């Protein structure tokens, strides 16, 4: 499926140039001419990538407000900021707010298209990673309805809410990693990495 790019710029000529450039590259586009239109488009359906002019019709930094609004909805969504009044401070503020790239008008078409291609690739990779992680965790399910299993499930739910370190012991094959994954999956840290380390393979001299 072709990625969808949301173009937000109050300059009709710039919107047309970007629209043609991005469509010619094989992507779908949606357009917004001002802050309110942009907000409506964002809330209606998030695109795969957004290109936002920093200065629209509401003020000097209303593009930054839209960037922040998008990031609250999906922190992974790449946003390319553009401006005809760019300075170092504006670029730094955009990147600090989570912008994928910042480019100044008049922009080089090939450079901007390269940013778009990279942004789409970045977004697709993050989505694939999320899908793989979800599949991975769903393949590790605790099966059974005995009193012991139900007791373990209850303990997992309680431990998942804890901020303390947890020690799980048992013989090889007893399901220590399975329990660890379930606790991680149910915790506030579920979107963070889950790293498995085999202690038997560690070099005691380097630990």
The neighbour count for residue 24, using CB atoms within 10 Å, is 10
Q: Are 115 and 49 in contact (CB under 8 A)?
A: no
Fold (CATH) for 4-131: Rossmann fold (3.40.50)
Give this prediction's pTM: 0.65
Domains of the chain, by residue range, sit at 4-131, 140-201
Per-residue pLDDT of the chain (207 residues; tens, 9 = 90+): 689 999 999 999 999 999 999 999 999 999 999 999 999 999 999 999 999 999 888 766 789 999 999 999 999 999 999 988 767 788 888 888 899 999 998 899 999 999 999 999 998 888 887 766 666 555 566 667 788 878 888 888 888 888 888 888 888 777 787 788 888 888 888 777 878 777 666 665 655
């Amino acid at each position: 499926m072709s990625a969808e790019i949301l173009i937000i710029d109050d300059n009709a000529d710039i919107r047309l140039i970007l629209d043609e450039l991005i469509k010619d590259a094989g992507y779908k586009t949606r357009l917004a001419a001002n802050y309110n239109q942009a907000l409506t488009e964002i809330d209606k359906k998030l695109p795969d990538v957004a290109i936002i002019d920093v200065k629209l019709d509401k003020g000097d930094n209303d593009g930054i407000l839209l960037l922040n609004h998008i990031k609250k909805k999906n922190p992974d969504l790449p946003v390319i900021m553009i401006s005809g009044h760019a300075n170092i401070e504006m670029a730094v503020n955009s990147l600090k707010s989570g912008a994928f790239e910042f480019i100044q008008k008049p922009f080089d078409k090939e450079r901007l298209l390269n940013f778009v291609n990279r942004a789409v690739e970045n977004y697709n990779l993050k989505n694939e990673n999320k899908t793989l992680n979800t599949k991975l965790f769903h393949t590790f399910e605790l099966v059974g309805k005995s009193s012991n299993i139900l007791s373990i499930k209850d303990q997992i739910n309680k431990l998942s809410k804890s901020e303390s370190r947890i020690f799980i012991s048992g013989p090889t094959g007893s399901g220590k990693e399975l329990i660890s994954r379930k606790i991680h999956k149910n915790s506030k840290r579920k979107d963070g990495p889950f790293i498995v380390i085999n202690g038997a393979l560690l070099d005691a001299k380097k630990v």
